[in-house]
Amino acid sequence: MNEIAQGFWDAWWLILTFDPDLYEIIFLSLQVTVSAVVIASVIGLPMGAWLAVNRFKFRRYVIALLNALMGLPPVVVGLFVYMMLSRAGPFGSFGLLFSPSAMIIAQVIIITPLIASISHQTLRDLWAEYHDLLISMNATRGQRIKALIWDGRRALLTATLAGFGRAIGEVGAIIIVGGNIDHATRVLTTAIALETGKGNFAFAMGLGMVLITLAVVINLMIHSLGKTERASTW
Amino acid sequence: MVIGPNGAGKTTLLRLMHGLQRCSGGEINWMVPQAQARQHQAYVFQSPIMMRRRVVDSIAFPLILRGASKAEARERALSCAGRFGLGELLQSWAPMLSGGEKQKLSLARALITKPEILFLDEPCANLDGSATREIEAILQLAQKEGTRIVMSSHDMGQVRRLADDVIFMLDGKVHERADAGSFFAAPSTSEARAFINGDIVE
């Protein structure tokens, strides 16, 4: 128990003294995750809206597949991205393996189906409500999607935050494609894995605490900026 | 005015004419494709559909869909809102309005594009007398400004006040069609007479 308390203290000491190594890890974690969430949202939100407003032959199967992909095993995604980016792979010439870009690619693949699926479920209900009105106003398909995303933006925050939650805590894929290289691709989760492997449980626990604090603070910040859960702003 | 008992097909007729529903038989002919015809029409639903936007943005929305700039659309929405008694509510969230205010917003949103034809599906069904009078005044003004109004209603008083022509529907069919004066003075079918008198129509 003393060891755990010491670990927490050490972790807080590193935070309070602005330890450059720790802050480098925190910033890289945020950089990778926020980039992945932004890219996945740009792809996933319109995809969810498109699926909500369009009817086509295999729609049910596409939605079922998208829902199934929410549970993509990160290790398999990591392996897939590794093979694609390794020298022998089709994108080997870009030299992206063991870089933050490779970690972002892996996270985008993991969280895009999650964001698309949750936004589809949210916007499907909104589309049921708006359907007659938007048809009556002769809105084009693009205008319908835009209106749904804009009017459903607060509910869509949930989809984005779910993606953020999954990405910030992800380790399986990014440790494979990033390699957990000190000062290059080490992020909070891979650092925790490393410290645990080295037997520094307390320090790993401290890093874990930082990770959880970060996730909670960012969620609260986004909720506050998005003015969700306030009746006056719907 | 389209009148008739519940389930007579009033809403279906309006939706078919506006192209919100496909015909299972026959056709609706506006002499131009349905989507093109809809550009000159507007529709107000029985239960107002409120977008999750402020009142001013809701009124401006149809103009933005038609390519107006945001500033221009907002400016026109501001002047339109005043006419509909929504001037004080411009910054309110549309879904938070009262029933009467929602229906006035629906009308403002429908009339801002100056449609040639306005379809209204029992727009006053859930409103009190005062809100109903306000809506009727707006409709009479719109009619004077050249908008043709096709409206379904249950309220015989309203039909007498507003109707030029009456279509009486029963069992999904147009049962009787006449100008309002002759329809109320001498309905040609017993069902129409029963409906006017408030009796059960079978």
Across chain B, mean pLDDT equals 91
The domain segmentation of chain B, as residue ranges, is 2-21+33-196
Percent of chain B scored above 90 by pLDDT? Answer: 65
**pLDDT at site B166:** 95
Residue A93, chain B, CB below 8 Å: the answer is no
Contact A232 B49 (CB under 8 A): no
ipTM: 0.91
Under 8 Å between Cβ of B116 and B148: yes
Q: Which long-range contacts (CB under 8 A, 24 or more apart) does A5-8 make?
A: A5/A202, A6/A202, A7/A200, A7/A201, A7/A202, A7/A203, A7/A204, A7/A205, A7/A206, A8/A202, A8/A205, A8/A206, A8/A209
CB contact under 8 A, B62 and A137: yes
**pLDDT tens string A52-69:** 999 999 999 999 999 999
Residues A206-216 pLDDT 10s? 888 889 998 99
Q: Is the CB of residue B32 less than 8 Å away from at least one CB of chain A?
A: no
pLDDT of residue A234: 47
**Which residue of chain B is at minimal alpha-carbon distance from A154?**
B52
Q: Pick the residue from chain A with its C-alpha nearest to B113.
A: A137
Which pLDDT does position A4 carry in this prediction? Answer: 72
Chain B residues with beta carbon closer than 8 angstroms to that of A155:
none
Looking at residue A130, its pLDDT comes to 96
A contacts of B20 (beta carbons < 8 Å) = 132, 135-136
Taking only residues 146 to 175 of chain A, the set having a beta carbon closer than 8 angstroms to any beta carbon of chain B reads 147, 151-152
From chain B, pick out residues whose CB is under 8 angstroms from the CB of A143: 65
Tokens 């038609």 map to which residue? Answer: B66
Q: Tell me how far apart the alpha carbons of residues B167 and A120 are, in angstroms, rounded to a whole number.
A: 42
Query: B51, A147: Cβ pair inside 8 Å?
Result: yes
Q: Determine the number of helices (DSSP H) and then strands (DSSP E) in chain B.
A: 9, 6
User: Which one, of A117, A140, A132, A112, lies nearest residue A52 by Cα?
Assistant: A117
Chains A, B: CB pairs < 8 Å: 40
Domain that holds residue A36: 2-233
Residue A210 has a pLDDT of 87
Which residues in chain B have Cβ-Cβ distances shorter than 8 Å to A151?
51-53
CATH number at residue A165: 1.10.3720.10
DSSP-assigned beta bridge partners for residue B54: B93
Mean pLDDT of chain A: 90
Contact A133/B51, CB-based, under 8 Å? yes
Structure confidence at residue A1 (pLDDT): 62
Residues of chain A with pLDDT under 50: 229, 231-232, 234
Exposed/middle/buried for residue B184 (C-beta within 10 Å: 0-12, 13-18, 19+): middle
Provide, as residue numbers in chain B, all residues whose Cβ is less than 8 Å from the Cβ of A130: 49, 51
Q: Which CATH number fits domain B2-21+33-196: 3.30.300.20, 2.115.10.20, 3.30.420.40, 3.40.50.300?
A: 3.40.50.300
Q: Is pLDDT above 90 for B110?
A: yes
Q: Are A174 and A103 in contact (CB under 8 A)?
A: yes
pLDDT, tens digit, 9 for 90 and up, residues B14-27: 999 999 999 888 88
CB count within 10 Å of CB B114 equals: 12
Contact residues, chain A, for B35 at CB < 8 Å: 138
Count structural domains, chain A. Answer: 1
Residues 6+ apart with CB under 8 A from B148: B116, B117, B118
pLDDT by residue (tens digit) across B173-191?
999 999 999 999 998 888 8
Closest CA in chain B for residue A128: B49
pTM of the full structure: 0.84
Length of chain A: 234
